[in-house]
Amino acid sequence: MTASQAPPVRVLIVDDQALMRAGFRALLDAEDGIEVIGEAVDGRHGLELARLHTPDVALVDVQMPVMGGIETTREIAADPRLAAVHVVILTNYGLDEYVFDALRAGAAGFLLKDTEPAELLRAIRVAAGGDALLSPAITRRLIGEFVARPPDRTTAPGFENLTRREREVSALAARGLTNEEIAAHMVISPFTAKTHVSRAMTKLGARDRAQLVVFAYESGLVAPREPRR
């Protein structure tokens, strides 16, 4: 199947602001290979539409009435029927405390609402492919601050079952490296790197790469860098 024949990335927009929903829809509807399958005005409505349509990506506002973005993410992550749904949290603030909780809840990553259109489109495709949105510097900084002060430092169940290679790729993923960069660092093929990452995620019960990164930090496999003074 060629890229032109590939099924479109199906996106659900969950935001209580009509203007934001309209803006996102206008941008996404104009893009080849992306299809908006619904809009929700709050998290509960979003959860209903997610269960009805099973989108590839759910763009979820962090603060909404009835059910907020964190609880919505947690509900999606807990539903086996929605295992293929990747949640991208939308926030107005780069260092929003809610983002920390969102990553723990199972979000694939987050975007600022004033993100450039090209970055939003790229992020949707990245999330749909199962990768975490960890490339931007602000995301790495957020995760670093998040894991530097977890309330209870625990080891993820199944972590002891990781092979040496799986631990190594998990640590590299936690530093924000892509599969291609991991492959170059370990002198293996990108396919082998992806296989190791996938196996580590399976053993840890991680929904996606973002949760693998969280588990790696919380388990102490990777130590957050000290902030610059």
Instruction: Report whether pLDDT(185) > 90.
Output: yes
Place of tokens 């640590």: 171
pLDDT, one tens digit per residue, over 4-45 is 578 999 999 999 999 999 999 999 999 999 999 999 999 999
Mean pLDDT throughout 167-178?
A: 83
pLDDT recorded at residue 126: 84
Helices 18-29 and 117-128: angle between axes, nearest 10 degrees = 80
- Taking the CA of residue 185 as centre, how many other CA atoms within 13 Å lie in the half-sphere pointing to its CB? 16
Backbone angles phi, psi at 114, to 5 degrees: -95, 20
Provide the token pair at 176: 């924000």
pLDDT, one tens digit per residue, over 59-79 is 999 889 999 999 999 999 889
Residue type, 27: L
pLDDT recorded at residue 161: 86
pTM: 0.70
